[in-house]
Each structure stands twice: as C-alpha cells, then as structure tokens.
Amino acid sequence: MDKCGFYQGRLHRNPPFDVKLVDGIYSTYSYTKGSSVYTLLLMTIPGIFYSLANIMYPGKLWRIGHIFTISGGEPTEWAISSSKIGGTILLMTILFAPPLFTLIQ
C-alpha cells in the first residue's frame, strides 16, 4: 500500500485491517532502522526488561497492574502462566524480529 491508498491495484478509502497493521509495523521498523541504532536500542531495551520481568516476577507484576482494582487479591495460576508465556513470546519477538526484517530486505 502506498500513500495514495492503493491496494492490489484498486483505490481504497479504508484498506483492510491486516494491511494497515503490516504497514504500521513496517513503517515503525523503517523509522528505527533509518534513524539510528540508538533509537532501536531505546525501543527494545525496555521491552526486553518488561518481558524478563514477566517471566521472572509474574506475581509482582500482576499486583502492580491490579493495585487499584483489587485489594488483598492473589493472581491465579492461569494469570501467572499466561504472564510467563506472554513474556516469552514478547522476548522472542524482540530478539528475532529485527534480524528477520533485515533478511527480508
């Protein structure tokens, strides 16, 4: 999709959601790749710390996330395991996505 709104040779006022999503991801990656390595580091380092915290301290992050909504509650096993799985997926995405985008181009 280019700036005119063309998708598959036709003019669209509102392109499909998946096209917008891929275009947004690509433009974000192009911005970080084109600007400097420091921008890429400033975007990935907090994500790495957050994903590692999700893996190592899921209960504490649950309490921080629910500090104002639940008093004295404890996270369920499902909340803890899904937090660990989400942290693992996020970490793998952060570590492997930039090299994959580089190989594609």
Residue 56 Cα distances to 43, 63, 80, 92, 97, angstroms? 21, 14, 10, 15, 22
Which two structure tokens, joined as six digits, stand for 56?
Answer: 């190592």
Core vs surface per residue 32-51: b (16+ CB within 10 A) or e = beeeeeeeeeeeeeeeeeeb
The answer to whether residue 103 scores a pLDDT higher than 90 is no
pLDDT of residue 96: 79
pLDDT of residue 45: 80
pLDDT tens for each residue of 8-55? 555 656 777 777 767 776 776 666 665 566 666 777 788 888 988 999
pLDDT tens for each residue of 67-89? 888 888 888 999 999 999 999 99
Which two structure tokens, joined as six digits, stand for 47?
Answer: 């994500």
The answer to whether residue 2 scores a pLDDT higher than 50 is no
Average pLDDT over residues 76-103: 84
pTM, two decimals, is: 0.58
